[in-house]
Amino acid sequence: MLKKIQKSVTQSQVWKSIFRVGIPTDNRKRALAMLGNVVLHLHPIKVKKSGLRMSYTWCMGGTAFFLFLVETITGLLLMFYYRPTVEYAYFDMVDLREVAAFGIMRELHRWGAHAMVIAVWLHMFRVFMTGSYKPPREFNWNVGVVLLVLTLLLSFTGYLLPWDQLAIWAITVGSNMARATPLVGTEGPGSALLQLGGRKLIHVGSDARFALIAGRTIGGGTLIRFYVLHCVGIPFIAAFLIAVHFWRVRKDGGISGPV
């Protein structure tokens, strides 16, 4: 009976139009399954056995990417509820916690973010310990370092959004550093040199910190700036660089292994 239903489903025109190959039963179909699917074709048809081992890869690059997807999806759902203004931000968080359906979205997003930072570090640790940054993979290591920085920036910009005491003070402590940027921070070495006709060019209303938090103190301007960076700006760049990262893994000879 079940067999019959299964057969009639998998033989139907609808099914066949979606899954051209079906469940692979021979090597030709195994290759076709990888080639015909947009997600799977990120992978080559065959991989080194040494690179397949979890004890070699620690699965950390994949974990980091998976968490990036989790963050994208949960973040999208959170965006339906959250308004990045001083009036609403905090109370939308309270609502997310108390009344929104599937009330663990914020938890998934927050713990996923912490986990992603850790996964990216561990991925870098593994790549270093296997010497996988060595030629021909130097450039991809660099892309990876930029992705690591972007991960931290994503987490940092997201930190402000709950608009609670933890958020605003963590960003205060973090963004105060910008004040001390050499040349372009008011309290940075060399900023006093930038003068025009005796007038200081770098002051609290024009320095790096001002540009970062859109004001002299953290407020509504900072919130919208961090929100846009967090939800659109940085994810866009990160997604692009992830694509470059994966592309280069393939072009540099697949997962690293001894030559």
Q: Site residues for other proteins, window 16-75 (CB under 8 A)?
A: 24, 27, 30-31, 33-34, 40, 43-56, 58-59, 62-63, 66-67, 70
- The single residue among 5, 162, 197, 216 that binds other proteins, judged by CB under 8 A, is 162
> Rounded CA gap, 64 and 139, in Å?
19
Q: How far is CA 94 from the centre of its chain?
A: 25
> Rounded CA gap, 111 and 38, in Å?
29
- The single residue among 76, 79, 166, 228 that binds other proteins, judged by CB under 8 A, is 166
The residues that bridge with 199 in the sheet, in sequence order, are: 196
* Residue span binding other proteins (CB under 8 A) among the ranges 6-14, 108-116, 227-235, 244-252: 108-116
Distances (CA, A) of 232 to 10, 66, 91, 157, 238: 40, 19, 23, 11, 10
For residues 90 and 164, the answer to whether their CB atoms sit within 8 Å is yes
Considering beta carbons, is residue 180 or 233 the nearer one to other proteins? 180
State the nearest-atom distance from the C-beta of 144 to other proteins, in Å. 9
Considering beta carbons, is residue 51 or 233 the nearer one to other proteins? 51
Considering beta carbons, is residue 109 or 235 the nearer one to other proteins? 109
> Rounded CA gap, 141 and 127, in Å?
8
Report the length, in residues, of the chain.
259
DSSP character at residue 162: T
134 part of the interface to other proteins, by CB under 8 A: yes
> Rounded CA gap, 138 and 124, in Å?
13
- The single residue among 9, 76, 79, 149 that binds other proteins, judged by CB under 8 A, is 149
Phi-psi region of 188 (alpha: psi -120 to 50; beta: other; left: phi over 0): beta
The β-bridge relationship of strands 199-200 and 195-196 is: antiparallel
Residues in 221-250 that interact with other proteins by CB under 8 A: none
State the nearest-atom distance from the C-beta of 8 to other proteins, in Å. 25
State the nearest-atom distance from the C-beta of 194 to other proteins, in Å. 12
Considering beta carbons, is residue 156 or 233 the nearer one to other proteins? 156
* Residue span binding other proteins (CB under 8 A) among the ranges 9-17, 92-100, 198-206, 242-250: 92-100
For residues 252 and 136, the answer to whether their CB atoms sit within 8 Å is yes
Considering beta carbons, is residue 5 or 259 the nearer one to other proteins? 259
Applying CB under 8 A, what is the total number of residues that bind other proteins? Answer: 101
Considering beta carbons, is residue 183 or 233 the nearer one to other proteins? 183
> Rounded CA gap, 135 and 150, in Å?
24
| Beta strand extents in 185-226 (DSSP E only) | 195-196, 199-200
- The single residue among 8, 10, 79, 169 that binds other proteins, judged by CB under 8 A, is 169
Residues in 173-212 that interact with other proteins by CB under 8 A: 173-174, 176-182, 185, 187-193
- The single residue among 114, 203, 216, 250 that binds other proteins, judged by CB under 8 A, is 114
